[in-house]
Chain A
């Protein structure tokens, strides 16, 4: 943990999923602070609660216990539209399966969140060009996801996640669908993003990706056991 003001802070976070066979505790009493500019990797076996923690940190899910503060605001007190606004403007998401919109080109996928955030056309154009250059895809701007490789799709997804200049980038198994070499390229890209000042929390099974993080949290059975 660093001494700077946290971007996101979870206190005693618990997440219980009600199931027909009985409630399942995916996350039990986890406290975590992510400071500005930090690079954190969360590792652990499947089903240990890594993604659940990431979803809570990203305000896409609500804890059943504890509280979460994003840039000092208690997210439990926020409306769904306020939480959407935080996600749109302050958080970037990168998914294992990319989830690019298949009918849009790489350019349009990157431009879309900016349009939703109300950026002007000229600002969008400049930012999209900048991001696609940043991820090394200037030659693929008019290609649809189906015309891109897995690595290229993930790079577009990263560009999309950075579109609105988020303070926090969350990545859930970003190399899970990629081969080793491509995974390394994506890890390089995350390093650059971090070096440019964006805080990153990455959930990964990939030891190479985890090794690049400044702080590594190991999870087991819904709890942080090391880090």
Chain B
């Protein structure tokens, strides 16, 4: 019988002890799995969110923070210059602001929205039209400003394609004396960056400027989005843009993610490392205690096996296999348990205001499973060391004598 077989039979022979150990490892392993998911989840989710927008380079003004930058002056000229670079496929300008949206005659039911101005009539990835049409390329004079409204806002205000809608920009997030702008819903769409408790409206750059009561600001932009040409890659495109315009800041998506990783996500990583370490210590203590107790209960058996000629390495192998089975079965059970727990925790954390609905804290990656397995395997191995030492170094004659006397 192999060491694995003997270990298995030992566990089956003591079902209560085995179940307790496996249950304990499963619960601890589930927590560890969740901590590992949390350590990179937000980062992976954020990267995916950026990538789905279809643009891999971002250009912003030099002034301000990476999130809140000052507007870029002369953005159309900048966009044209970037567009002419050989490594660039597409360029879009973007503005963002806050506004109140209301249906005519129902001003008291206005909803606060994030207003996006874009040079693109459809930004697949940033928003996807589910009803109606994309923003028109041009708007005839006197025609109402076209809008794409989010599905949630459409539902809230009871509007759809063709419905009239009024926008009043709120400068600085406060009340505004600006006149409301008459608009028309061109389409309804889902916005990737929309938070659960927020509403979003997109319009043309001219529409955005008009809503702000400053048609002359149509040439401003908060952000230039650039899609690098296939085969060139975002890093090369970003370098080319930076060389072209040293007065602006250029980031590839990877660089944006890296910046967030180094700043905003550090807390999650640190919390995750601390809690992961704690769970590993618990797993170590649980398995080490149970195996040590098991060895202490079987000292006579172990001494007899040694007297019968079983070498130390065989005794050690039996215990290591026992530990591996406890941790292996418990670790496997931890995955579905941890997965279910992650869904619940993710839902709780995503309840924080202002987070894009598609942003997740717990994201599954194959490497997480590998890391989880490796950490538990190492813990199981370390936990078995003391009981293995205890059993392998057992004084055979003294133990046999003690077992008889007792």
Contacts and interface: CB of A to CB of B under 8 A. Distances in A.
Contacts of A97: 300, 403-404
B312 interface: yes
A99 B300 contact: yes
Interface string B1-36: 100001001101100000000000000000000000
B1 A115 contact: yes
B333 interface: no
Contact of B9 (A60, A95, A104, A172): A104
Contacts of A91: 309
A84 B397 contact: no
B90 interface: no
A123 interface: no
A85 B310 CA distance: 8
Contact of B301 (A86, A101, A108): A101
Given A60-B396, A111-B1, A88 B403 contact: no
Interface stretch (A51-59, A66-74, A192-200, A209-217): A51-59
B301 A88 contact: no
Contact of B310 (A88, A96, A173): A88
Interface in A71-126: 80-81, 84-89, 91-93, 95-97, 99, 101-104, 108, 111-113, 115-117
Nearest to A111: B1
A103 B310 contact: no
Nearest to A85: B309
B307 A96 contact: no
B309 A87 contact: yes
Interface string B186-208: 00000000000000000000000
Contacts of A52: 397
Interface string B129-160: 00000000000000000000000000000000
A93 B403 CA distance: 15
B1 A99 contact: no
Contacts of A116: 309-310, 314
A95 B1 contact: no
Chain A residues touching B, range: 35 or more
Nearest to B11: A103
A113 B314 CA distance: 12
Contact of B400 (A55, A92, A117, A161): A55
A160 interface: yes
Nearest to A46: B405
Given A103-B13, A104-B9, A111-B1, A95 B309 contact: no
28 contacts: A51-B400, A51-B404, A55-B396, A58-B307, A60-B306, A60-B400, A61-B396, A80-B311, A84-B309, A84-B310, A84-B311, A85-B311, A86-B309, A91-B309, A92-B308, A95-B304, A96-B404, A97-B404, A99-B300, A99-B303, A101-B6, A101-B301, A103-B12, A104-B1, A104-B9, A108-B1, A111-B1, A164-B309
| Most chain B beta-carbon contacts within 10 A, residue among A80, A91, A99 | A99
Contacts of A102: 13, 301
B307 A93 contact: yes
A32 to B, nearest CB: 17
Contacts of B303: 99
B312 to A, nearest CB: 7
A10 to B, nearest CB: 15
Interface string B275-315: 00000000000000000000000001101111111111010
A87 B10 CA distance: 24
Contact of B308 (A61, A80, A87): A87
Interface of B: 1, 6, 9-10, 12-13, 300-301, 303-312, 314, 395-398, 400-401, 403-404
A103 B10 contact: yes
Interface string A130-150: 000000000000000000000
Contacts of A103: 6, 9-10, 12-13
B309 A99 contact: no
Given A60-B306, A61-B395, A101-B305, 17 more contacts: A55-B397, A55-B401, A80-B311, A81-B311, A87-B309, A88-B308, A88-B310, A93-B304, A93-B308, A95-B304, A96-B404, A104-B1, A108-B1, A117-B309, A164-B309, A172-B400, A172-B404
Given A85-B309, A87-B308, A51 B401 contact: yes
A89 B13 contact: no
| Most chain B beta-carbon contacts within 10 A, residue among A92, A104, A117, A161 | A104
B397 A61 contact: yes
A104 B12 CA distance: 11
Contacts of A92: 308
Nearest to A88: B309
A157 to B, nearest CB: 9
Contacts of A117: 309
B394 to A, nearest CB: 11
Contacts of B312: 80-81, 84
Contacts of B13: 102-103
Contacts of B400: 51, 55, 60, 95, 172
A121 to B, nearest CB: 11
Contacts of B309: 84-89, 91, 113, 116-117, 164
A160 B311 CA distance: 17
Contact of B306 (A84, A86, A96): A84
A178 to B, nearest CB: 14
| Most chain A beta-carbon contacts within 10 A, residue among B308, B311, B312 | B308
B14 to A, nearest CB: 8
Contacts of A84: 306, 309-312
Contacts of B306: 60, 84
Contacts of B300: 97, 99
